Structure 1
Amino acid sequence: MNIYDRKGQNRMYPYYYFRYPRPGQYPPTHGSWHYPANYQGSYHPVYFYRTFPGVDPEMFMSSAKKMEVLMRDASTLLVNMAESKKFSHELMSAAQQSKISEVEKMIKSTGISRVPSVSYTPDGLTLHFESEKEDNVKCCDLTLKLRWM
C-alpha cells in the first residue's frame, strides 16, 4: 500500500506521522538534522529544548578564589623545583626510593599552605592539590604531572 499521493505527500498525516524520507530520497543522517539543500522529503526534525536553572555565580566565584590559593601554592612549588637543582635532585631521589614522608617534608619546606597528595611512577611525579570541603562538597582541585624521564 502506498501511503503517498501523487505529489509525495503523506495521506495519513493527521493520524500517522511518517518520520523518514520517501523511498529513494536521502536517508536521515545519524546525529545531525542537516540535509542537502535540494532535499524534498517529509522528514520533520523534532527539537528538544532543555530549561536550565537560573545562574547564581556565588559558588563559581568561591571556587575561583579557592583555586587561586591552590595555584599560588603550586606555583611556589614549581618555582622551587625549576630553580633549585639540589632540591629537584633530592626530591626525585626520595620519590624513586619511595620515601613518602621525606617527599612530603621537602614539599612542606617550600612554604606552601596546602600540601598535595603525591604519587610517582618511574616516569615522573604527580601532585594533586585539593581545596577544603565546604558542607561535604569539594569545589575544586588541581593536578600537576611532571616528567623526569
Structure 2
Amino acid sequence: MYYSSFPYGFNSRQQAFMPVHPGYMAMPTPTPQNGRSPFPPVNTRKFNASANRFKQVMNEANLFIGTLTASDDFARQLMDAAQRSDQQEVERLVRSTGVTIKYNLSYTPSGIQIDFSNSDAQNSCCSLRMALGW
C-alpha cells in the first residue's frame, strides 16, 4: 500500500478514499438508557417466514435451471426465440419447465435475466434475480 503524508489517497480507480484506523468508529454506538437496550426486542417470526417463502422461489428457479442444463434442445429453442424477440414463445418455454410463480424476464443479444418473485398482495418478501449469459 502506498503511504503519503496526506490523510486521503486514491485507489486503483482513482477514487478518493479515507483510510480506516483501528480506533475510528464510523457511527456512534447507541447507549442503553436505564439499563435497557435502545432497540426493540428481536422477533424472528417474519424473518423465518421470509426465508421459508424464499425456499419456494429457489425451488422454482431450480426447475428452470434443471431443464436448461439437462436439455441442449431446450436451451437452443429458448435462445432462438429470444433472438427472434418472440416473447410469447420465450414465456411458453419458461412455463414448460414447471415454473408457476410470477416472474419478469428480459433478454438481450448477450443473455437473459429472469426475476422470480413469490410476492402477493399480502406478502412482499422474496425475489431472486437470475442473469445468464449466452
Normalising by structure 1, what TM-score?
0.65
CA shift in 2, pair 1:30/1:125, >3 Å = closer
Q: Distance in 2 between matches of 1:71 and 1:102?
A: 23
Identity %: 32
Choose from 30, 34, 55 the match for 2:23.
Answer: 34
Q: Distance in 1 between matches of 2:110 and 2:68?
A: 16
Whose helix proportion is higher, 1 or 2? 2
1:118 offset after TM fit, Å?
A: 0.8
Choose from 112, 121, 126 the match for 1:125.
Answer: 112
Tell me the residue number matched to 1:63.
50
1:138 offset after TM fit, Å?
A: 1.8
Listed one character per residue, the Cα deviations across residues 51-105 of structure 1 (whole Å, up to 9, x for unaligned) are 3322111111111111111100101110100110111000001111111111111
| Structure 2 runs not aligned, ≥5 long | 1-6, 8-17, 31-37
1:32 offset after TM fit, Å?
A: 4.2
**SS of residue matched to 1:48:** coil
1:31 offset after TM fit, Å?
A: 5.4
* Structure of larger gyration radius: 1
Tell me the residue number matched to 1:112.
99
Q: Distance in 1 between matches of 2:116 and 2:77?
A: 21
Q: How many residue pairs align between the two structures?
A: 110
Q: Distance in 2 between matches of 1:57 and 1:101?
A: 41
Tell me the residue number matched to 1:139.
125
1:108 offset after TM fit, Å?
A: 0.6
Q: Distance in 1 between matches of 2:102 and 2:19?
A: 49
Structure with the larger RCO, 1 or 2 (CA within 8 Å, 6+ apart): 2
Q: Distance in 1 between matches of 2:101 and 2:70?
A: 21
Provide the aligned C-alpha RMSD in A. Answer: 2.4
Moved over 3 A (4+): 29-33
Tell me the residue number matched to 1:40.
none
